[in-house]
Structure 1
Amino acid sequence: MTAFARDLGAQSNAFNARVDQMDRDVDTAMDSWKGEAASATSVRAMSEKLAANHIGSAVVTLADTFNTYGARLGGYRSALLSIVDGDIPAAGMTVDDQGNVTAPQVPGARAGDLLAYLLQAQLDSQAADFQARVKELLTQFADGETQAAQAISSGLQELTGYRQHPDGAPVRPQLQAILDGGAQPPKDTKQFHDFWESLTPAEKDALYRHDRYIGNRDGMPAVDRDYYNRETLGDELTRARSAAAQADALRAQHPDWAVGNNVPAPNKPGAIFDDRLAYEAWKSRYDAALNGTRSLPDLQAVDKAVGGKPDRKLLLLDTQTGRQAHAVVAVGDPDTATHVSVTAPGLNTTVHGAITGMSEEATNMRLEALRQLQSTPGHAHETVSAIAWIGYDAPQIPGLDDSGRSLAGAWGVSHDDLARTGACSLVAFYDGIGAAHDGGPAHLTAIGHSYGSLTTGLALQQPGSHGVSDALFYGSPGIEAATPQQLQLQPGHVYAMETPDDPIQLTYDAPPFVHAGAPLLPYPFNVVAEGGLSVLDASGAGQFGPNPATNPEFTRLATGPASVPDGRGGAINLDGAHGHSDYPRQGSNNLPRTTGYNIAAVVAGLADQAIPGS
């Protein structure tokens, strides 16, 4: 069975390679073919690819079935042969086809010879033990054969169904209404989860063809979100790379036009020149190609974060709805993990600049949380999933080279508008984790850094119960809350960290200093400064509440160097954190810093082992 499974796997790999080649061929054709017919062909190609994916998945499942049961039955067989061909004959006994074991007869045992009687009793007991082991293995083998036959039959039936109807059976009226535009999937995360789980694989594919971003829906199981979002990632990445190649080719045709040089003068009535018409046609194609590359850096970063990493799940990919691309990556399976964390970042966070690093930080934190769990009696079998959440438009201050965006970003980071918008998305994400989690609820920790802590704090204040057990804020400008109860959390379950040299402290120290200094400026700068400060004060600039790290209602955790037990009788020396960004980063020798250790302790539900601050 296992040999057949290997052969089936090889055939599946060859089939998948041909499907991938077909997909690349279609994408190549789409580069130069536009219009309604091209769009229809693209949709059909996607349908064919999804159908092929189902066939490939069914074959892989069948191969896994043969491999799993082959190994299991092989184990039973080896154990049986070891007893039947080895132990039993060596003991001078025999066994029949039903597993009955017979001990040799000791002369005199039935004639009253006590020694012979005792020896016979010992042999009969040994035979009974052999027989019990043989019959148990025979029963396990028979049960395994039955289960294997049922699983193989089910797999073959599924494969036959896809062979006859690659696109799947006709969808149900409820789903057809959605596909026709007359209805919408449920908006409530729990209702959506139940609706999604009721669909067949073909119906899920039909919904994906209808909405290429269906994988972003909160409440969908993580494995399905990852599957469909990776499909979208591959499709968008192929298109963006194709657009980049087209832009390069057009730039090579007219490098001067690409930088605005030697552009023909505009045509006028009665004065139409071919060179201007050629330029306008070129410019239209060039602008379209450049627009197609807009999200390429983000898509490449996401691909780097999840590509070839089956332990990571792409829970959200959105290059369409926000001013910036959004992406969410989970390390570990949040649907099955005992402990789940969601980290929201802050100022200047972008997908292309941060998703890879945040995913690595999530990986390191998860490993540290697992280490702490395995070193703590009673927690060794608990699991962890750490999620990097870039699901909102974080404020951006690119610098002096882009003063317009920097001014807008300065306004954004000093006000809570962006955080409030992000909080709505974040709290829905929390709800989705709860709706999709297998069994009982996970221990969910909400983590916020910098402006992301404000977003997290506002999310926790949204109406309803969102399943969050603990919250941790670091480098925070404020969360517009002063007590755990305002965050709908229990006392002792809100934690905060701030390094001594974190410039975020200026958020709290600077306003009084600026207000005191403004009147001392020479005229007319004092008038301008006081007027500007009045406008900012009236708009609520920077007024995000008390510092969580100094709030006695919250638990402050350490950020300086520390030593902690390694679980094996030794100690681990942890580096301290500095500045505004060190909190989740590894220290020397690729070990967590004190802040990383504390983050992992809270996430693992072991906050009593965290290092307290002063």
Structure 2
Amino acid sequence: MDIKTLHDADIIGISTAKSAFDTLATAFGQHIESWQHDVVDRLGHSEWTGTAAGHANTRISNLGTELQSAKQELGLVSRALQDAYDGFAAAQAHLISALDDAKTHKLTVAADGGITWDKDPNSPNFAGNDAENQAQQIQSRITAALNEADHADQTISSRLGHLATNASNGTGLDSATAKADTDAANALEQVPAAGTDPNSVKAWWNGLTDEQQHRMILNHPDQIGNLDGIPAVARNDANRTNLKNLIQDRNRQLNDLGPEPKQYLGYVKGEPVTNPEYEKWKAKHDALKEKLDGFQSIQDRLDGKKDGGLGGPNSDPPLLLLGIGDQGQGRAIVSWGDPDKARNVSSLVPGLNSTMAGVGGGDAMTAKRIYDSAVSSAGKNETPSVASVFWLGYDAPQLDGDSVAAKDRAVAGGADYNKFLAGLRATHEGAPAHMTAQGHSYGSLVVGQATQHPGGLAADDIILVGSPGVGVDKASQLGVGADHVYVGAAKNDPVANAPSPGMLGGLGELIYEQINHPGKQAWFGTDPASGDFGGQRFSVADGTITDSHDDYFGKHGAGGDSLPNIGKIVSGHGNAITRQDPR
């Protein structure tokens, strides 16, 4: 597709063709009704019997089915032409808008898309000091419009070509074929169900024109934004819309709660009597407020209101919102860099006490530090290409109960994490990315559970830090090869090592077993830092009992070799890590 072809395209002609097929389908339907009335019904009321009558009735019935199938196929041509019109019209409008803006900024666009301008400040046609920046933006818009038209051309040509083949060889007269074609056309207008295989989702998405994709994002942001197999940029667009909707909805629900009821009904023998209505109001209020604060924290991050504007509209790398939702404790997935384009992709699963508010705050910076470390670890002859994801796609255990001692959250989270990485594989452009799955604390158990699904985990390397165990006894059981399983465990980490009594409260029996039968067993299988596990242990600082568990990613700046080693692994240079002997 070139500029002139798209600019001069007779889009109205497509609409005219669509109207013609509508007229044809209507007329064809009237002929079918006449056939039914004048032939089928009369024959049915006749008293004709015998072998010949039986053959005739069978043939007439089959012919009726063929006519109905043909009508369906004609209707599908009309629908395809409507989608073609919408797609090409949108692309043409985007091109014309870019060209108009070029004129406004005194830029000249050549037929091949090249842009020139007058650089003489004394000339009446001087394009201004910002001309180069404006030219880059407009050229990008022109390229996007042409790609949009190309995509529409390919998808619509495929659909029309299929229907034309059906018409020419007679397969379109088959009821099963017509049903399958109709189902396929209907599927284009329906978002695949959550949990659908990411490769199937990607194929569905590719079958839509850019305009159809835009409508899906606009009309179904909550579904599109959280569907594995949808490209990262589209998920980001949808999730940013959905995030605003979630914030608005939580504010509305808080307002609908009404004023705070009286906390106490009175006093009996000097003791306050709690108002049950207050208790119910406060429980609802606090739950809504907690999620609202989490959503708002992420919105503030995306708006660049934290850490010197990092994550804002002009952030480099861009911060993409790959998931957001209010299921359970809330879901949030962010990525520094585009995982569909990066050669090296890291996805970190957090552990104990992780929250949505944390994702908008320090956790986002954890992923950013991983990104920075991986970029700096690139080889001398490499152009750094990294995306660093922070994945809170499950209900992380909190310190208000014994959930950290059970595997159920890791099992559920592992299934979703497995699907998420499969989605990143499906949407990646070009050669497959080098993908690293990372698990911190309880998050390492989530990663471990994710590897146990059929087909394994879509990862080349696995990093486990501060791990209480991953649910298996050997690194070789994680599916990437023991030499690609990297383990960091600080000497004074109370989670990666046997905790002191009462350290985590409510885990008495589990802690008792750890202290009295330490061996090489962790909470969930063999200790990943042990020689028996068989992973590659990398050097980290000893740390202190209060900060070592949270310092593997440089949060406190005392993690020693930990973050640089993680950066080397993420960038594909795991062979260059500073190693440490297993315990």
Same fold (TM over 0.5): yes
Find the residue that maps to 2:321 and give its secondary structure: strand
For residues 178-198 of structure 1, give each alpha carbon's deviation from its aligned partner in whole angstroms, at most 9, with x where no partner exists.
7689x8588111111111121
CA distance in structure 2 between the aligned counterparts of 1:204 and 1:77, rounded to whole angstroms:
33
Provide the residue aligned with 1:544 in structure 2: 524
Find the residue that maps to 1:550 and give its secondary structure: coil
1:599 aligns with 2:566: yes
**Alignment of structure 1 residues 101-250 onto 2, 5 Å:** 174=184, 176=186, 184=193, 187-208=196-217, 209-210=219-220, 212-245=222-255, 247=257, 250=258
Provide the residue aligned with 1:580 in structure 2: 549
Provide the residue aligned with 2:455 in structure 1: 464
Find the residue that maps to 2:395 and give its secondary structure: coil
User: Would the alpha carbon gap of residues 371 and 62 (structure 1) be closer, same or farther in structure 2, given more than 3 Å must change?
Assistant: farther
For residues 290-309 of structure 1, give each alpha carbon's deviation from its aligned partner in whole angstroms, at most 9, with x where no partner exists.
77546201211221232342
Name which of 322, 325, 333 aligns with 1:328. 333
Find the residue that maps to 2:529 and give its secondary structure: helix
User: Would the alpha carbon gap of residues 417 and 176 (structure 1) be closer, same or farther in structure 2, given more than 3 Å must change?
Assistant: same
Provide the residue aligned with 1:448 in structure 2: 439
Amino acid of the structure 1 residue aligned with 2:437:
A
Provide the residue aligned with 1:360 in structure 2: 365
For residues 462-520 of structure 1, give each alpha carbon's deviation from its aligned partner in whole angstroms, at most 9, with x where no partner exists.
21043311011010001122333311112311110111110014448979xxxxxxxxx
Name which of 493, 497, 521 aligns with 1:502. 493
Q: Which runs of 5+ in 2 are unaligned?
A: 1-85, 121-135, 151-180, 268-274, 305-311, 503-507
Find the residue that maps to 1:548 and give its secondary structure: coil
Amino acid of the structure 1 residue aligned with 2:417:
L
1:478 aligns with 2:469: yes
CA distance in structure 1 between the aligned counterparts of 2:245 and 2:141, rounded to whole angstroms:
38
User: Would the alpha carbon gap of residues 325 and 498 (structure 1) be closer, same or farther in structure 2, given more than 3 Å must change?
Assistant: same
Name which of 291, 315, 328 aligns with 2:322. 315
Provide the residue aligned with 1:387 in structure 2: 389
Provide the residue aligned with 2:154 in structure 1: none
CA contact (8 A) 1:193 1:220 kept: yes
User: Would the alpha carbon gap of residues 500 and 201 (structure 1) be closer, same or farther in structure 2, given more than 3 Å must change?
Assistant: same
CA distance in structure 1 between the aligned counterparts of 2:144 and 2:215, rounded to whole angstroms:
27
User: Would the alpha carbon gap of residues 290 and 607 (structure 1) be closer, same or farther in structure 2, given more than 3 Å must change?
Assistant: closer
CA contact (8 A) 2:108 2:116 kept: no
User: Would the alpha carbon gap of residues 284 and 187 (structure 1) be closer, same or farther in structure 2, given more than 3 Å must change?
Assistant: same
Find the residue that maps to 1:329 and give its secondary structure: strand
CA distance in structure 1 between the aligned counterparts of 2:564 and 2:545, rounded to whole angstroms:
10
**Alignment of structure 1 residues 520-539 onto 2, 5 Å:** none
Find the residue that maps to 1:353 and give its secondary structure: helix
For residues 13-68 of structure 1, give each alpha carbon's deviation from its aligned partner in whole angstroms, at most 9, with x where no partner exists.
xxxxxxxxxxxxxxxxxxxxxxxxxxxxxxxxxxxxxx9xx989965994389659
User: Would the alpha carbon gap of residues 364 and 294 (structure 1) be closer, same or farther in structure 2, given more than 3 Å must change?
Assistant: closer
CA contact (8 A) 2:363 2:390 kept: yes
Provide the residue aligned with 1:439 in structure 2: 430
What is the RMSD computed on CA atoms of the aligned residues?
Answer: 4.8
Shift in Å, 1:602:
0.7
Find the residue that maps to 1:419 and give its secondary structure: helix
User: Would the alpha carbon gap of residues 64 and 480 (structure 1) be closer, same or farther in structure 2, given more than 3 Å must change?
Assistant: farther
Find the residue that maps to 2:374 and give its secondary structure: helix
Provide the residue aligned with 1:259 in structure 2: 263
CA distance in structure 2 between the aligned counterparts of 1:72 and 1:584, rounded to whole angstroms:
48
Q: Which runs of 5+ in 1 are unaligned?
A: 1-50, 82-143, 159-170, 264-278, 399-405, 512-527, 562-573
For residues 125-176 of structure 1, give each alpha carbon's deviation from its aligned partner in whole angstroms, at most 9, with x where no partner exists.
xxxxxxxxxxxxxxxxxxx9xx999869969999xxxxxxxxxxxx986354
Provide the residue aligned with 2:377 in structure 1: 372
CA distance in structure 1 between the aligned counterparts of 2:296 and 2:92, rounded to whole angstroms:
26
CA contact (8 A) 1:331 1:362 kept: yes
CA contact (8 A) 1:576 1:593 kept: no
Amino acid of the structure 2 residue aligned with 1:214:
I
With 463-472 and 543-552 compared, the bigger mean Cα shift is at 543-552
Provide the residue aligned with 2:98 in structure 1: 63
In our comparison, the structure showing a higher alpha carbon Rg is 1
Find the residue that maps to 2:455 and give its secondary structure: coil
User: Would the alpha carbon gap of residues 592 and 149 (structure 1) be closer, same or farther in structure 2, given more than 3 Å must change?
Assistant: closer
Shift in Å, 1:353:
3.1
CA distance in structure 1 between the aligned counterparts of 2:371 and 2:339, rounded to whole angstroms:
12
CA contact (8 A) 1:369 1:604 kept: yes
Find the residue that maps to 1:336 and give its secondary structure: coil
CA contact (8 A) 1:193 1:436 kept: yes
Find the residue that maps to 2:347 and give its secondary structure: strand
CA distance in structure 1 between the aligned counterparts of 2:265 and 2:387, rounded to whole angstroms:
53
Shift in Å, 1:390:
0.4
CA distance in structure 2 between the aligned counterparts of 1:312 and 1:232, rounded to whole angstroms:
16
Shift in Å, 1:377:
2.4
Provide the residue aligned with 2:292 in structure 1: 296
Shift in Å, 1:235:
1.3
CA contact (8 A) 1:556 1:612 kept: yes
Name which of 540, 548, 553 aligns with 1:559. 540
1:421 aligns with 2:412: yes
Provide the residue aligned with 2:13 in structure 1: none
CA distance in structure 1 between the aligned counterparts of 2:509 and 2:475, rounded to whole angstroms:
37
Shift in Å, 1:286:
9.4
TM-score (norm 2): 0.60
Find the residue that maps to 2:346 and give its secondary structure: strand
Shift in Å, 1:577:
11
Matched pairs, number: 413
Shift in Å, 1:598:
1.1
Shift in Å, 1:200:
2.4
TM-score (norm 1): 0.57
Find the residue that maps to 1:212 and give its secondary structure: helix
Amino acid of the structure 1 residue aligned with 2:434:
H
For residues 427-471 of structure 1, give each alpha carbon's deviation from its aligned partner in whole angstroms, at most 9, with x where no partner exists.
001100100000111100010011110110111122104331101
CA distance in structure 2 between the aligned counterparts of 1:72 and 1:177, rounded to whole angstroms:
40
CA distance in structure 1 between the aligned counterparts of 2:141 and 2:210, rounded to whole angstroms:
23
